[in-house]
Chain A
Amino acid sequence: MADASRGPRPRPTSPSVWIWRWHVTMVASIAHRASGVALYGGALILMLFAVSLASGPDGYAAFKGLMGSIPGKVVLFGLTLSAFYHMANGVRHLTWDAGAGFEPKTADMTAWVAFAFGLVMSVGVWVLAAMTGAL
Chain B
Amino acid sequence: MVVRSPLGRARGMGSAKHGVGHFIAQRVTAAALVVLVFWAVLSALNLARGGYDEAVDWLHSPVNAGLAVLLALAAFWHMQLGMRTIIEDYFARPATKAVCLVLNVFVCFGGGALTIIALLKVALGGGGVSV
Which positions in A face B, CB cutoff 8 Å? 4, 7-8, 33, 36-37, 39-40, 43-44, 46-47, 50-51, 53-54, 56-57, 60-61, 64, 67-68, 80, 83, 87, 90-91, 93-94, 97, 125, 128-129, 132-135
Looking at the assembled complex, report how far the CB atom of A42 sits from the nearest CB atom of chain B, in whole angstroms: 9
Closest residue on chain B to residue A80 by CB atoms: B41
Contacts of A60 in B (CB 8 A): 51-52, 55
Q: In the docked arrangement, what's the CA distance between A8 and B10, Å?
A: 11
B119 in complex: contacting residue of A50, A87, A134, CB < 8 Å = A50
Contacts of A36 in B (CB 8 A): 79, 82-83, 86
Looking at the assembled complex, report how far the CB atom of B62 sits from the nearest CB atom of chain A, in whole angstroms: 16
Closest residue on chain B to residue A55 by CB atoms: B118
Contacts of A40 in B (CB 8 A): 79, 82-83
Given contacts A43-B75, A129-B48, A94 and B86 within 8 Å (CB-CB): no
Q: In the docked arrangement, what's the CA distance between A54 and B120, Å?
A: 9
Q: How many residue pairs between the two chains, A and B, have CB atoms under 8 Å in the bound complex?
A: 95
Q: Is the CB of A94 within 8 A of B6?
A: no
- Asked if B5 is an interface residue, CB under 8 A from chain A, the answer is yes
Looking at the assembled complex, report how far the CB atom of A46 sits from the nearest CB atom of chain B, in whole angstroms: 6
Closest residue on chain B to residue A40 by CB atoms: B79
Closest residue on chain B to residue A88 by CB atoms: B34
Contacts of B75 in A (CB 8 A): 39, 43, 46
B49 in complex: contacting residue of A4, A37, A50, A132, CB < 8 Å = A132
Q: In the docked arrangement, what's the CA distance between A68 and B2, Å?
A: 63
Contacts of A91 in B (CB 8 A): 34
B27 in complex: contacting residue of A51, A83, A97, CB < 8 Å = A97
Closest CB pairs A-B (n = 5): A50-B118, A134-B48, A54-B118, A57-B52, A47-B115
Q: Is the CB of B45 within 8 A of A134?
A: yes
Contacts of A33 in B (CB 8 A): 86
Interface string of B73-108 (1 = CB under 8 A from A): 001100100110010000000000000000000000
